[in-house]
Chains A and B, each alone.
Chain A
């Protein structure tokens, strides 16, 4: 985050996303049938972009995220971050570049909002998880940015769904990772909270100079808040790239 000279870039290089990759030499699994969900040409994402991934159910949004997160491998091609091949980075390195927010968090008893946000500092703390001055400053900054200062000592089980989602975003933010991925962040939120969260994410992408990916079925809101939309055309099995301003009719007709 303090590299002012280099601009972080996330690139998809000739990516084929799907599943059924056979495992290596450790287990002798029969070579499964490879099923390609979609392919993508070379795409580059820069900091400050708020990108929505849209597509019909089953088109491969979750698979794409799993591939970026490292839970799966791409069938071919590579994802590179700042020139380095993504899957070659070790776990700690990955945690400093990438953070993830699931669509629903039910809270953990006795885990306060402060504790939850502090968990995001894990890649930077020592073995006993001691929070240094710097760690505490980062956590404070995140709490202020998200308006969580009044909830700091509240048990996460006692929060409302909207507050919990924002607290989870806080945890992802305190990781100080350049890339943040949210899987359907608005799925369980009410109308007001949806707009609130997306507005927050849009500001965060600009202010913190991060690349934020969300997947969503809420097309109207995506078109309203995002700077870029990446759509999976299930018929052509292609990843389409659109930047603002969006021609909504055209995109919807092509994809759905």
Chain B
């Protein structure tokens, strides 16, 4: 058993080293190249008179940190959903959390309820939407026996919210419509330097909760009845899994918009690469793998800046899908 364990730590180390290297590289990229001394100063010895340091502090550093946090959070949320529903096609959005966010953002940007017009207002609207959707699903999870029913409720709620968004879009002013569309493309630039702390804290809470759930997650693999007979309180664990997913998905959707693809694909890839069902290793793998994927997408985005300005959501699938297909074909 010990030999197998060290195999996982080696893989973690490789992923971490890769991540570190790419993060440092990503920090230099942007509309103009910035060297490492300026990056270091921009974060730690801030001098607002230097353009480079200003750029690092306001744009680069938040962008890269947001990339890491969003990739990690969404992948872990995806892993939780895949284990809860025992379905490799489940992702963090399967419970309809981001549909709630979407709906409230649509209302705040495109309808006459113009209370939250500003940037911070959009974040607030998305948070409230995610929170509301989360509460609704939690409420349902207490009263619904079958978790497949819960999955269906989440999907129906998502469809309903999506339909309402379409209605709002049909009557919206073209400028407002564009604002909403840009939000729905996903962006890593939406977080200010002083907001990074809050984002990191909330993601950390979600990750911590997931770590606490490792043992019950492992036992859920054999089904609810077997898990229950091994001492797992299935209803309570289901509740906590949904809380963790809501926290992770909600906060990322609030600050970055809905980022597609990551939460669905990274946990599956981690399972293929790590070849284990132990969530202790799957969590660390998803964390590193998710962060890696988004950072790679951000690098691609920056490198393509002079030619195209591609939305994040497009890039995640454009880069991710071929990688996934390559891994699958290599395995089979």
Contacts and interface: CB of A to CB of B under 8 A. Distances in A.
B222 A91 contact: no
Nearest to B217: A129
Nearest to B227: A122
A111 B223 CA distance: 14
Contacts of B1: 114, 131, 136
A18 to B, nearest CB: 20
Q: Which of B222, B232, B280 has the most CB of A within 10 A?
A: B222
Interface string B150-175: 00000000000000000000000000
A175 B230 contact: yes
Contacts of B232: 91, 122
Contacts of B276: 110
B229 A98 contact: yes
Contacts of A111: 221, 277
Chain A interface size band reads 20 to 34
Chain B interface size band reads 20 to 34
Interface string A178-213: 000000000000000000000000000000000000
Contact of B231 (A102, A109, A123, A131): A123
A94 interface: yes
Contact of B215 (A98, A102, A105, A129): A129
A129 B214 contact: yes
Contacts, number: 61
Interface in B208-244: 212, 214-215, 218-219, 221-222, 225-226, 228-233
A91 B215 contact: no
Interface string B247-277: 0000000000000000000000001000111
A29 interface: no
A145 interface: no
A129 B277 contact: no
B214 A108 contact: no
Interface of A: 69, 71, 91-92, 94-95, 98-100, 102, 105, 108-111, 114-115, 119-120, 122-123, 125, 127-129, 131, 136, 175
24 contacts: A69-B229, A91-B228, A91-B231, A91-B232, A91-B233, A94-B229, A94-B231, A95-B230, A100-B226, A109-B277, A110-B271, A110-B277, A111-B221, A111-B277, A119-B219, A119-B230, A122-B219, A122-B232, A127-B214, A128-B215, A128-B280, A129-B218, A129-B278, A175-B230
